[in-house]
Structure 1
Amino acid sequence: MPATTRDPAPRITKFTNCRLPRGNQLVEQDLWIDSRSGRILKDQEAFYEFQLSPDQVVDLGGRILAPGLIDVQLNGAYGFDFSVPQSTPEEYEKGLHEVNRELVRTGVTSYLPTVVSSNPEVYWKVLPSLGPSGDHRRAEDGAESLGAHVEGPFISPGRNGVHKVEVLRAAHTFQDIIDCYGADNIPPRSEQTYGAITPPPAATSPIKMITAAPEVGDMMSNIREIVSRGIIYSIGHSDATYEQGLAALDEGATMVTHLFNAMRPFYHRNPGIFGLLGQSEYETEQHSRPYYGVIADGIHLHPTSIKIAFNAHRSGLILVTDAMKLCGLPDGVYEWTNGERIVKRGARLTLEGSDKIAGSSATLIECVNNFRRWAGATTAEAIRAVTEIPARMLGLDGVKGSLDSGADADLVVLGETDDPDAGPILTVDQVWKFGVKVYDAEKE
């Protein structure tokens, strides 16, 4: 993926005196990247076989060099809401580009722009701008879209959270889904037959993931069709029982949206959706345990709930922000997409006049720090939850979220400081996109 900037960037960069997350540990190891291809190099091959010499050597002084962070549930940030069409497509895309340039400063190099439950007209207008950024994207553009996450409107009215009930729908046929999102926004069905676990690679189409309640309407009978088109099906905003959750996995669901929130609570005689984490790794021939999102902002979940989920299924936990456009803005009262108002007090967002949680304003690195402290995870495990694991869930293993040779050279340099209240915290010191440095905290 070529990287283009106004000033030519050094082609070959060698990072040294750094620690890389490998598995569940940090390992002292050098890393080579190529800004021309935008990818990570195999260092021994680059030096011995191709006889390449680095154009620059970056001594990180013992800091952590990790893959760029991936957020699979981001509703907006810095005053821009992905669910709100602008007067023209050009104005919408201008706001989107501004978010991308700001977002990369938080360490997020890739994400799924998320559209909440809306009328069909909203999807038709905004989804064409939210698809994967593509091969011609420049490093200086900042964070890139990996495809849209449509959260609703096929969700349970009883588990809607702050999604407006009036726009919720029930799908009976796949045509109902097409009519809602728009035919041009859904990839065609693959001719090849795939199992329920691994969907085919998505065609060039905006939608990457759908969050829907399997028990609403006839959605259960449409999951396999959704997955056959390379779209990830995530169970969420759902009143599904444990048995209905298992049935959804059998049909091809592989993800759970913000575990514990907006779903039937755990009960000892009916564990609900959370019970899916208790399955053995291959409980049946049809499905394995799902991936699941966790909002570790200190508001959506109690720290112990996060620790329980992590201990139940470590390799499936994905940290998400569920952040809204208020992320990065000062405290106050703000208009929301459905005409209601959101109150922002620090990281806490609530629907005005109630205690209903209305998304998050935390950054992903803040969630990483919270998770590392609350769950007792190693630093490498916490990093995996925002890099390797979401990349694998998205079918991008080895392309994103990885430090293996051939992966995109999306990188974040993490420092560590001591907070008197929170203890050691990770900080975003540098961000590299496609092998080009696009953010340096020391120069801000």
Structure 2
Amino acid sequence: MPLISAARVVTATAVHSPGWIDTRADGTVVAVGSGVPPRTPDADLGAATVVPGFVDMHVHGGGGGDYTDLDEASVRRARAAHFAHGTTTSMASLVAADPQRLRTQVDLLSGLVREGVVDGIHLEGPWISPDRCGAHDPAALRAPDGGELADLLARADGTIRMITFAPELPGALDAIRQTVDAGSIAAVGHTDASYEQVAPAVDAGATVATHLFNAMRPIHHRDPGPVVALLGDPRVTIEMIADGTHLHPELYRHALDAAGAHRVALVTDAMAAAALGDGQYTLGELRVEVRDAVARIAGTDTIAGSTTTMDALFRAAVHAGGGLDGPDPDAALTAAVRQTATTPAHAIGWAHVGDLAPGLRADFVVLDESLRVTRVHAAEASGARL
């Protein structure tokens, strides 16, 4: 599709209304502009809003599929479910598991990364705090071990893009350095660290906060903990799950105001129930019940990932910015693009996606007047090999 036009084309820095996108045959963007296109469009999308393809840097599954399953069909099912909701670039996040299962999961997923089904692997466990483990199996948690980490990084051969650590664990700072030296992203999360324990982790190379607020020691007026430390450090990209369940909307707005859209990456943290409905599911080895679209470990009140999708988070971000009927709808739209595409892509180092700009991959999502997905286009069709 070399040239398209629409009522509105939104990038990370501008709203073109009306707008157009010109692309090459190889699927890269040539130009984006406002007003009359340089030639007759190959497709006119009418009243639609076109935004960059969403980038989800933290997701466990969806559509009944699960990235933690040792089942390629399940992985493809999860990826297809999120692609349908606009996610054109996706991490495959794993939960804590015993060493052998973790190796097997990495072996399966690394092949699918190379095939282009998913775009990277995120190890959210097992090197996290037992006091803040959330929906991770406590029996699978352990302190970082340089040998195990080296083996996983080697067998993944560059496909492990991010690893979450609790920095207070023995050996965590060395593991963060080892991860960064291998070319992967180190994140701080699922942690009971003090405020003072976070700075050394960032100094060691950690650059992401795994779903800020959730599974972290809460803020206390005499013990600010990891939330304040991570939110206040400009070197850190802040993940947030702005689904209205994991975070109160006002807390999301407060953190967004404090950090700015250039530091906030909205993530789904979705599990298998995303894009489905209530029922019984699993997350790793744990049973999960979904009631009223909220996933919890069976028989407990512990939240077990989300059931949201990136298009819903995009709408939440637009609303947080004042909405389409607010005082500055263009600012609301561009901030939402940064949070759902540009900032997460930058955080992981995916330089070819995250915006609609010359030289980038022509991944885009077509939205109707209610900002709901009507079409998803990926230049290299992350969804085509599902």
* Residue equivalent to 1:127: 106
Structure 2 residue 74 is matched with structure 1 residue 84: no
The match for 1:103 is: 82
Kindly tell me: are residues 157 and 277 of structure 1, through their superposed partners in 2, closer, same or farther at Cα, counting changes over 3 Å? closer
Higher-Rg structure is 1
Match of residue 224 from structure 2: 271
Give yes or no for the alignment of 1:213 onto 2:203. Answer: no
Are 1:13 and 2:2 counterparts?
yes
Asked if the contact 1:83–1:122 (Cα under 8 Å) also holds between the matched residues in 2, the reply is: no
1:184 matched residue in structure 2:
155
Question: 1:430 aligned to 2:375?
Answer: yes
For residue 278 of structure 1, report the CA deviation from its aligned partner.
5.2
* 340, 344, 351: which one aligns with 1:386: 340
Q: Distance in 1 between matches of 2:209 and 2:272?
A: 23
Q: 2:250 aligns with which of 294, 304, 307?
A: 304
| Cα deviation 1:113-152 (Å, max 9, x = unaligned) | 1100111112221212323866875xxxxxx422101101
Structure 1 residue 105, shift from structure 2 partner: 1.0
Which residue in 1 is equivalent to 2:326? none
> What residue identity is the alignment partner of 1:40?
V
User: 2:212 aligns to what SS in structure 1?
Assistant: coil
State the Cα deviation string for residues 376-415 of structure 1 (Å, max 9, x = none): 4702211211111111111123x11121111111111112
Q: Could you tell me which residue of structure 1 aligns to residue 73 of structure 2? A: 94
Q: What letter is aligned with 2:213?
A: F
Deviation of residue 291 (structure 1)? 0.3
Structure 2 residue aligned with 1:159:
132
In 1, the alpha carbon distance for the partners of 2:131 and 2:321 equals: 30
Unaligned runs of 5+ in 1: 1-11, 45-51, 86-91, 138-143, 188-204, 281-287, 418-425, 440-444
User: Paired residue for 2:22?
Assistant: 32
Q: Once the two structures are superposed, what CA deviation does each residue of 1:222-247 show, in whole Å capped at 9, x if it has no partner?
A: 21221011110010000111221111
Counting only pairs closer than 5 Å after superposition, residues 394-409 of structure 1 correspond to structure 2 as: 394-397=348-351, 399-409=352-362
Alignment CA distance shift 1:243-1:229 (3 Å): same
CA contact (8 A) 2:65 2:76 kept: no
Q: Report deviation, 1:435.
A: 7.0
Gaps of 5+ in 2: 323-330
Normalising by structure 1, report the TM-score: 0.77
| Displacement after TM superposition at 1:363 (Å) | 1.1
Aligned to 1:334: 281
Find the partner of 1:222 among 170, 175, 187.
Answer: 175
Matched position secondary structure for 1:73 = coil
The aligned length equals 371
On the 8 A contact 2:195/2:226 being kept in 1, the answer is yes
Secondary structure, counterpart of 1:234 in structure 2: strand
Please list every run of at least 4 consecutive aligned residues from structure 1 whose deviation after the TM superposition is greater than 3 angstroms. Answer: 22-25, 131-137, 277-280, 374-377, 435-439
Normalising by structure 2, we get a TM-score of 0.89
